[in-house]
Structure 1
């Protein structure tokens, strides 16, 4: 089985986690083998879509070109990006991710509402690698 991190597109784009049917703990990234809750004897795990929205829990900016295996084009100038920790609305868990291009730390605040959207991690002539990104609600890309 190939583990999927997300599904859908546009307004249907969602991160995928897993939920233990015994203790109802939710996990992201997903877990397909056993319940990670140390107080649970274990149970069947099912794939669940996670909340599309959440609130900024913390944030910082990436002002350096990350090392491998992160892929960047060394021929292009490095563009800083905002990294956001978001507490998901229903699950109350924190998920990290980049902000959509153009959103800087100057535009972010703890507690601000954001939503998950599809983004491009890297692309070349043959492939586009997609990921999730966080976008302040009310902002269109």
Structure 2
């Protein structure tokens, strides 16, 4: 798990971002040092849960084994996965992430509503690395 990027479980699962108190810009991944808005005089950065829903902005599939630092076992066969860029409902920022297992590009359309859900990036006998996935609304987990 990437500390500070998401929190909660089940229906309470949320990505965590930050909002600048001066210009109200929202950032994900979170920003803890300074406001990234070049026109902002600077303000306090406050952690905030992001919208759990958004609309598909774009999508594609990944058919190659990504390079390090992505965790992948070279002894196992490679499974392609779907990437989705989602415009969040309230914040109107675009966040990239993997689709939930079983969701392919054939299941998606631009503008489709999706929800963020917890996911597994990798696991071994000692550790499960968690992440987030996007799942179309109305599709069972």
Superposed pair shares fold, TM > 0.5 = yes
- TM-score normalised according to structure 1 size: 0.96
Alignment of 1:10-21 (within 5 A): 10-21=10-21
Q: Note if 1:48 corresponds to 2:48.
A: yes
TM-score, length of structure 2 as denominator length: 0.96
Cα RMSD of the aligned pairs, angstroms, is 1.1
2:71 counterpart of 1:71: yes
CA distance in 2, matches of 1:72, 1:98: 15
What is the aligned partner in structure 2 of residue 35 from structure 1? 35
Q: Secondary structure at the residue paired with 1:126?
A: coil
The total of aligned residue pairs comes to 140
- Structure 2 counterpart of 1:96: 96
Instruction: Kindly report structure 1 stretches of 4+ aligned residues shifted beyond 6 Å.
Output: none
Cα distance in 2, alignment partners of residues 95 and 136 from structure 1: 15
SS in 2 for 1:103: coil
User: Partners in 2 of 1:78 and 1:104 — Cα distance?
Assistant: 15
Give the superposition deviation at 1:75.
Answer: 2.3
Can you list the C-alpha shifts for 1:88-134, whole angstroms capped at 9, x where unaligned? 00000000000001000011000000000000000011100000100
SS of the residue corresponding to residue 33 of structure 1 reads coil
Confirm or deny that 1:111 pairs with 2:117.
no
**In the TM superposition, what is the alpha-carbon distance from 1:3 to its structure 2 partner?**
4.9
Task: Give distance in 2, aligned partners of 1:75 and 1:3.
Answer: 29
Q: Does 1:133 align with 2:130?
A: no
Segments of structure 2 that go 5 or more residues without pairing to the other structure are: none
Rounded Cα–Cα distance in structure 2 between residues aligned with 1:119 and 1:100:
7
Distance 1:97 1:107, change over 3 A: same
Give 5+ residue unaligned stretches, structure 1: none
